[in-house]
């Protein structure tokens, strides 16, 4: 029989892997008697682990949520995954959680066996945001938690937003998702007074308490949060997630060259050192300007709105050069 300490760790590891464990199955997996299983469960309870007995023909045990956080036990893969996730959180600006994530990362690394510490140290992750004119303001972790809790509980939120007059009634929304986009945090919600879906910056939200009544979630335009958020930030009104303006051109440059400078869009070989580019933007003039930046001969395939946008920009640029 293994030593008591090793046996307790093995028992705890098993209890964390599934909801319910029959006593007989635990005894079999640990190669001990049912009486020893009961004794070890009592020892874990004394250490603060909330283990309840499960009624039934076989009896059993369940590790349930408690009022305090007891020591956790991770297998190798879980430990590596947690530390990588904490590295990303600790190097991400604007969440308000960077410092707690860094402390949690240090705590886990301190108790890691050498073999895992070497694996984790080999994966050094740094989150680099695109340069911005204005860095994303920090977000209060308590506000993030309150918003996420309301999303899960399906409770109407009341809050003041931005620099609005505080004498105005607070906004009332049905919160559906908390998301990140380009380093900022947003709340996706249905505004009950405006009767429309809205996207709110979390750093501008000042919560009012208490929350409102529970609600039945509505279906997001586009069917899922990724499509909806992409539509919002691309200026699309049909909920498809596509750009409202999309066009195709033939560029007088090889596909390999154009692909290096194309973050979004489809680049295809067209022969004779040329390529076919299909790309989108929020307006036709902005799309024409984006295509012109490649500094290559352009042949418009379509649609006619893109041709008209090039003509519009040509007249504007001609006035500047006069």
Q: Are 27 and 36 in contact (CB under 8 A)?
A: yes
pLDDT band at 241 (very low <50, low <70, confident <90, very high): confident
Q: Which of 77, 74, 85 is nearest to 119 (CA)?
A: 77
pLDDT of residue 156: 96
pLDDT of residue 138: 75
A 10 A CB-CB count for 187 gives 26
Asked whether residue 203 carries a pLDDT value surpassing 70, the answer given is yes
Q: Classify residue 119 as exposed, middle or buried by CB count within 10 Å of its CB (0-12, 13-18, 19+).
A: middle
pLDDT of residue 246: 93
Please indicate whether residue 158 or residue 107 has the higher confidence score (pLDDT): 158
Please indicate whether residue 232 or residue 13 has the higher confidence score (pLDDT): 232
Lowest average pLDDT, out of 31-35, 137-141, 168-172, 237-241, goes to 237-241
pLDDT band at 91 (very low <50, low <70, confident <90, very high): low
Per-residue pLDDT reduced to its tens digit, 132-156? 556 667 788 788 889 999 999 999 9
pTM, full prediction: 0.61
Q: DSSP H helical segments within 67-223, as ranges?
A: 76-90, 98-111, 114-121, 141-153
pLDDT of residue 101: 76
pLDDT of residue 126: 65
pLDDT band at 1 (very low <50, low <70, confident <90, very high): very low
pLDDT band at 5 (very low <50, low <70, confident <90, very high): confident
CA pair distance 154, 156, nearest whole angstrom: 7
């Amino acid at each position: 029989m293994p030593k008591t300490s090793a046996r307790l760790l093995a028992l705890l590891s098993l209890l964390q892997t599934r909801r319910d464990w029959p006593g007989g199955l635990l005894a079999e997996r640990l190669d001990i008697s049912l009486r020893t299983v009961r004794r070890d469960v009592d020892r874990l309870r004394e250490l603060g682990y909330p283990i309840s007995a499960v009624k039934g023909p076989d009896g059993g045990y369940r590790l349930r949520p408690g009022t305090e956080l007891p020591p956790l036990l991770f297998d190798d893969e879980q430990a590596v995954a947690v530390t990588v996730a904490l590295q990303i959180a600790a190097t991400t600006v604007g969440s308000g959680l960077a410092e707690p994530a860094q402390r949690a990362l240090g705590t886990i690394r301190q108790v890691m066996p050498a073999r895992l510490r070497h694996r984790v140290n080999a994966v050094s992750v740094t989150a680099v945001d695109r340069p911005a004119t204005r860095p994303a303001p920090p977000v209060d972790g308590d506000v993030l938690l309150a918003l996420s809790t309301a999303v899960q509980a399906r409770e109407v939120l009341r809050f003041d937003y931005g620099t609005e007059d505080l004498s105005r009634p607070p906004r009332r929304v049905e919160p559906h998702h908390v998301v990140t986009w380009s380093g900022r945090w947003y709340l996706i919600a249905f505004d009950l007074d405006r009767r429309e879906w809205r996207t709110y910056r979390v750093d501008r939200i000042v919560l009012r308490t208490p929350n409102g009544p529970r609600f039945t979630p509505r279906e997001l335009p586009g069917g899922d949060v990724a499509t909806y958020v992409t539509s919002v930030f691309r200026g699309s009104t049909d909920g498809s997630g596509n750009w409202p303006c999309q066009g195709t051109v033939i560029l007088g440059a090889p596909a390999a060259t154009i692909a290096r400078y194309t973050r979004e869009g489809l680049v295809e070989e067209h022969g004779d050192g040329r390529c076919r580019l299909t790309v989108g933007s929020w307006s036709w003039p902005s799309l024409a300007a984006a295509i012109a930046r490649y500094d290559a001969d352009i042949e418009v395939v379509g649609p006619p709105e893109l041709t008209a946008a090039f003509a519009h920009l040509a007249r504007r640029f001609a006035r500047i050069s006069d």
